[in-house]
Amino acid sequence: MTSVLFTNVRIFDGTGALAYPGEVLVQGNRISRIARGARALPTAGVTVDGGGATLMPGLVEAHTHFSWNDQPGLSEIQRMPTEEHILWCAHIAKRYLDMGFTSCIGAATAKPRLDVVIRNAIESGQIPGPRYLAASQEITVPGGLGDETLPHLPYPEFSFGAIVNGPEEMRKTVRMFLKYGVDTVKLNLSGEYIAGIPAEFTPMTEEEIAVAVKEAHVRGKRVSAHARSAESVKQCVRHGIEIIYHASFADEEALDMLEAKKDRHFVAPGIAWLINTSFHAAPWGISPDAAKQMGYHRELEVACETLKKMHRRGIRILPGGDYGFAWIKHGTNAKDLEYFVKYLGFTPMEALLAATKLGGQIMMRGDELGRIQEGHLADLLLVDGDPVADIAVLQDGARLLGVMKDGLFHKDPQKGPARGRFSRSAA
Ligand SMILES: [Zn+2]
C-alpha cells in the first residue's frame, strides 16, 4: 500500500474550523492520520513538504455538463457528431480534475449515453477524471426547454432534450435512461429565456413528474430538475426531487416547503449563468441590453434575494453549474465560489464548505468525502495561498500545486513549475 505524508501544510479540513498547521498521512486511497504541528507523524513512503501551502478537500461541482462544448446555444451543442462528442467529454473530464474538481454531479448530457460512458471510463481507469455521477438527457415536453426540433425537422436527433408526451412516454424514456445506467434522471420543469421560453413557465404535468420520480426511485436513483419558477420548485419538493437546479423564483411558500425538507434536497443555482448571460455574452450577440430584454437582469436580481433567504433558512446551496457555454467555459468553475461571496452573501468559509463538505453530501458520501478526516477518501488539493483570505486563488490552475484523487496524484506537487519548493523523499 502506497503512503504519502504531507508535512508543513496548513490544513483546511472542511469542518468549519480555521486552517491549522499540521501533517496528513495518506495510506492507499484514504486519509489515515492527521496531526497538528511539525514532525508529528512517522514518515513512511513519500513525503511531500508543502512549504506552508494549504491542504484542503477536493472541490465538488454540483451541476456539471461535460458534453456542453463551449458553444453559444443548445442546438449548437447538440450538433457535434457523437464520435467527436465523446472525445470532447473525455477531454473536459480531465480539465475538471486539472482545476481541482475531484467530484462532479452530472446535470444532463447532450446525447443519451455520453455521461454514462464517461463515468464508466473514469471508474475503470481508462481516462482521468473526477468521481462522477452520470445524468440522463434533459427530459422535456413538446415546446419545453430542450425541445430543439423544428416543425419540418421533427427528428429527436436534432433535439437537445428527450421529448415526452404524457406519463407513458415518460415512463418509457426514464426506463431507457435507467437501463443505460444513469445515476440521475434530469427533468426540465421550467422554461429558460434564452430558449424563448419564460423562466416562470412550468409545463410538465404532475402525472408526468410522478411517473419519472417513481421509476427512478424504484431503482434507487435520484432525480434532478431545471426549476426556475416558483411552481417548479414546489413540484420538486412535492415529488421528492432531490437536486433542484436554479430555483430563482422560489416564493415564500416554496421556501417554507423546502426548509421543511431541507435534509432531503440540494439546491445548485448555477448563478454564473445568470451573471454572465446578463453582462458578458455580447461577443455572441447577447448585449447586456438584449439580456435585460430577455429577462435575465430581473431574474439575477430576484435569484440573489431568493438564494440569500434560502441560505438564512439553512437550505443546502452548492456552487457550480452550467459551465460549458461559450461565455462560461469549462474549467472556470471555481469562479462560482467567488460569486457566492459577492452575490449571495456567503462568507468565504461558507462558500468553501458548500464546495467541499456539502459536496460530499450531494455525492451521497458525506461520511467519507468532502472533509479531511481520518478514514475519509483522499481527495486533496495543495493550494498556494489561503482560499479563506482570497477565494479567487482556486481559479488559478498554477496555484493548484497538487491534485490528489483517491490517494493518487493527478497533479504531483513535485513535478511542474512549482518544483523545487517541495522536497520529496522516499523512505
Ligand atoms: Zn444545467
Give the pLDDT confidence of 88-108 residue by residue, as tens digits: 999 999 999 999 999 999 999
Quote the ligand 1 centre to 27 CA distance (angstroms): 36
The pLDDT score that the predictor gives to residue 424 is 47
The residues that bridge with 328 in the sheet, in sequence order, are 325
Quote the ligand 1 centre to 321 CA distance (angstroms): 6
Classify residue 201 by burial, with Cβ atoms within 10 Å: 0-12, 13-18, 19+. middle
Average pLDDT over all residues of the chain? 95
CA distance 227 to 203: 11
Instruction: Please state, in angstroms and as integers, the Cα–Cα distance from residue 253 to each residue in 27, 150, 204, 232, 233, following that order.
Output: 48, 37, 20, 12, 10
Enter the C-alpha cell of residue 168: 407513458
% residues pLDDT > 70 (the chain): 97
Using only the alpha carbons of the chain, give its radius of gyration. Answer: 21
Task: Provide mean pLDDT across the span 257-263.
Answer: 98
Q: Does the pLDDT of residue 420 top 80, yes or no?
A: no
Quote the ligand 1 centre to 378 CA distance (angstroms): 28
Q: Does the pLDDT of residue 415 top 80, yes or no?
A: no
Quote the ligand 1 centre to 259 CA distance (angstroms): 23
Residues 118-159: pLDDT tens digits? 999 999 999 999 999 999 999 999 999 999 998 898 888 888
Residues 291-323: pLDDT tens digits? 999 999 999 999 999 999 999 999 999 999 899
Quote the ligand 1 centre to 304 CA distance (angstroms): 18
The pLDDT score that the predictor gives to residue 413 is 94
Quote the ligand 1 centre to 426 CA distance (angstroms): 45
The continuous run of DSSP H or E covering 82 comes out as helix 82-98
Quote the ligand 1 centre to 139 CA distance (angstroms): 12
The pLDDT score that the predictor gives to residue 43 is 77
Classify residue 334 by burial, with Cβ atoms within 10 Å: 0-12, 13-18, 19+. buried
Strand stretches in 67-130, DSSP E: 101-106
Quote the ligand 1 centre to 186 CA distance (angstroms): 10
Residue 426's pLDDT band (cuts 50, 70, 90):
very low
CA distance 387 to 61: 17
Quote the ligand 1 centre to 245 CA distance (angstroms): 7
Q: Does the pLDDT of residue 377 top 60, yes or no?
A: yes
Enter the C-alpha cell of residue 334: 471555481
The pLDDT score that the predictor gives to residue 416 is 60
Q: Does the pLDDT of residue 26 top 90, yes or no?
A: yes
Residue 422's pLDDT band (cuts 50, 70, 90):
low
CA distance 394 to 425: 27
Q: Does the pLDDT of residue 417 top 60, yes or no?
A: no
The answer to whether 111 touches 156, Cβ cutoff 8 Å, is: no
Instruction: Please state, in angstroms and as integers, the Cα–Cα distance from residue 138 to each residue in 150, 170, 304, following that order.
Output: 18, 12, 25
Residues 319-363: pLDDT tens digits? 998 999 999 999 999 999 999 999 999 999 999 999 999 999 999
Look up cell 504541528; give the residue: 37
| H-helix segments, 111-251 | 114-123, 167-180, 206-218, 230-239
Q: Does the pLDDT of residue 427 top 50, yes or no?
A: no
Residues 213-237: pLDDT tens digits? 999 999 999 999 999 999 999 999 9
CA distance 136 to 186: 6
CA distance 343 to 301: 9
The pLDDT score that the predictor gives to residue 409 is 97
Task: Provide mean pLDDT across the span 201-209.
Answer: 97
DSSP-assigned letters across all residues of 253-298? HHHHHHHHTTTT-EEE--HHHHHHHHHSBGGGTB-HHHHHHHTHHH
Residues with CB under 5 A from ligand 1 (ion): 107, 322
Residues 29-80: pLDDT tens digits? 999 999 999 988 887 789 999 999 999 999 999 999 999 999 888 888 888 9
Quote the ligand 1 centre to 388 CA distance (angstroms): 27
The pLDDT score that the predictor gives to residue 421 is 55
The answer to whether 302 touches 347, Cβ cutoff 8 Å, is: no
Q: Assign 64 to helix, strand or coil.
A: strand
DSSP-assigned letters across all residues of 324-374? -BTTB-TT-TTHHHHHHHHHH---HHHHHHHHTHHHHHHTT-TTTSSS--T
Torsion region of 14: left, alpha or beta (phi above 0 gives left; psi -120 to 50 gives alpha): left
Reported residue count of the chain is 427
The pLDDT score that the predictor gives to residue 425 is 46
Quote the ligand 1 centre to 133 CA distance (angstroms): 14
Enter the C-alpha cell of residue 251: 416564493
The continuous run of DSSP H or E covering 357 comes out as helix 357-362
Enter the C-alpha cell of residue 243: 437536486
